[in-house]
A and B are shown apart, each in its own frame.
Chain A
Amino acid sequence: MSKIIQGKFKIVSNKKAGCDYYKMTISAREVVKAASPGQFVHLRCIEGNQPLLRRPFSFHRLNSDNFEILYEVVGQGTRLLTKRKKGEKIDVLGPLGNGFDVKGANIILVAGGMGVAPLFALAEHIVHSSQFIVHSKKKKLYVLIGARKKNHILCERDFRRLGTEVLVSTEDGSKGRRGLITDSLKSLLSTIDYRLSTIYACGPKEMLKELSNISARFNISAYGSLEENMACGVGACLGCAVETKRGYERICKEGPVFNLKDIKW
């Protein structure tokens, strides 16, 4: 387990990255040093009591000194976060949670909507660590990105730049394949030798639930990053419980990444 750090760290940039999407880069070498993809930070959007609680954000990118988060404006906390300026300091608590444990010959990333946030950090990690050679014939890294419509498709170019095979789908057909991302996955699995594949996913609960069905049907492993309302972030308050076959577990501590077959949907 990596050591958890709390401190005020400098915002390097905070820029719009799509219709309601923003990217914030924070300079926090000690946090980054202890961090791995799939883990998250708990940020205080502003100093003050409204909104009261911190907000969890997964690592979107991990560099040597900085980490980046990708966030969508969904409420008061994230709206205030967009107002934070370069050079200001922000209260960071992290790294938190377990992170992805990468294994398997072929890797399939399934990113629904904002689910690209942690999966891009994972893709970068996989590509940059020599354990995976993207273009080798033996091991492959597939990235499936899905959203409701075109302007909610995020990071497509970033994933392509990494040299991964990217498959885009939208529910309304405004970009890529028309339909659900889980249908894209099923059609991918029917065209490749999937036996040694592992799925890593992040996205809406319904998507993750369907992935657990698909992974059972094809007998492959699937890991997903889960979400729940969260207070402490460190396993103390038991607020972010998810029911697994082992009983309730804490998304902030035992998760956020779970083997999807263990979740009681």
Chain B
Amino acid sequence: MVKKKTKSRLSVSIGKLKLKNPVLVASGTFGYGQEYKDLVPLKKLGGIITKTITLKPRKGNPPPRIAETYLGMINAIGLENPGLEVFLKEKLPFLQKLGIPVIVSIAAETPEEFSEMAERLSKVKSVSALELNISCPNLGKKGLISQDAEATYEIVRAVKKAAGLTIITKLSPNVTDITEIARAAEEAGSDCLSLVNTFFAMAVDIKTRKPKLANVTGGLSGPAIKPQALWMVREVYQAVSIPLIGMGGIMNARDALEFIICGANAIAVGTGNFVNPRAGIEIVEGIERYLKENKIKNIKELMGKL
């Protein structure tokens, strides 16, 4: 009886997608779930956002691919992944057995390629939603799709046409005005926005006087970016009416609650998984405790209540 009550107390919706709790794991930080099966009771998570998949396999960037920085890390993995076919055949079966929502992160270069992937994935029963990664900073291109409102609109529109699934658009913080891009995605029919992806960054080795990453630049994540991410979630919350998944340096329940209070319907743990694989589970427990202690009946009462 008690269990049922806490379940509904934490449940949230994102488009057609129902989550039993608002805690997700962020794309690229949790592989395809299987990597953490010994360490984390995966069924207790609100859902898993997979490592980004592309239509064809991608080799990724040369090493070194990561560098630790103050309160954070910079990565330039370069979307290494086995491609859509191998994902469906070898990675998805494990995920679908978990019985929790599987959000597949996809990336492509053109609206057509995005649509093709979305169409394929919308036919797969165990895929609950798609996250459009239009904000990866490590592809060696000049601009990101999510730095351009028009390009963002076009991609989201094309995917919405091709797939009946819940669509989450992942935004880059590397923009002058994130609300402009957020509005473009909303107008195009995105069911939800996730923010933020990593910040453009670099690190230098003063001994060799060379960049610490082979790719020179990468994306900064971790507690270092939390205040900026929080601000952006607040900005976007005030600008759009679709649900938001907040992320950026979330390490514990306190961080997660800050994002929810700023307007996020759900949150995702990213770099925190590397430090503590159980971070997501501990955040679910921590939020539950917070609600109880503060006599809050439902998490929805907290959302955007700044």
Contacts and interface: CB of A to CB of B under 8 A. Distances in A.
A25 B180 CA distance: 55
Contacts of A234: 31, 35-36, 39, 277
Interface in B58-109: 59-60, 62-68, 70-73, 75, 77, 80
Nearest to B277: A6
A72 B27 CA distance: 34
Contact of B73 (A3, A52, A238, A243): A52
Contacts of B273: 232, 236
A235 B29 CA distance: 10
Nearest to A91: B276
A100 B274 CA distance: 25
Query: How large, as a class, is the contact surface on chain A?
Result: 20 to 34
A4 interface: yes
A53 B73 CA distance: 8
Given A49-B71, A234-B35, A238-B60, A54 B275 contact: yes
Given A238-B77, A248-B59, A232 B274 contact: yes
Indicate the member of B35, B36, B62, B77 with the most A CB atoms within 10 Å.
Answer: B35
B80 A241 contact: yes
B65 A239 contact: yes
Contacts of B67: 229
Contacts, number: 103
Nearest to A5: B38
B30 interface: yes
Contacts of A91: 276
B304 interface: no
Nearest to A49: B223
B222 interface: yes
A231 B39 CA distance: 16
A49 B28 CA distance: 20
A236 B251 contact: no
B36 A236 contact: yes
Given A5-B38, A6-B278, A241 B31 contact: no
Interface of B: 28-31, 35-36, 38-39, 51, 59-60, 62-68, 70-73, 75, 77, 80, 222-223, 251, 271, 273-278
25 contacts: A3-B38, A44-B275, A52-B222, A52-B223, A52-B271, A52-B275, A53-B68, A53-B274, A93-B39, A229-B68, A232-B277, A234-B36, A236-B31, A236-B35, A236-B51, A236-B274, A237-B274, A239-B66, A241-B63, A241-B65, A242-B63, A243-B62, A243-B63, A248-B59, A248-B63
Given A5-B38, A229-B68, 10 more contacts: A52-B72, A52-B222, A93-B39, A93-B277, A231-B271, A232-B274, A234-B35, A237-B28, A237-B274, A240-B66
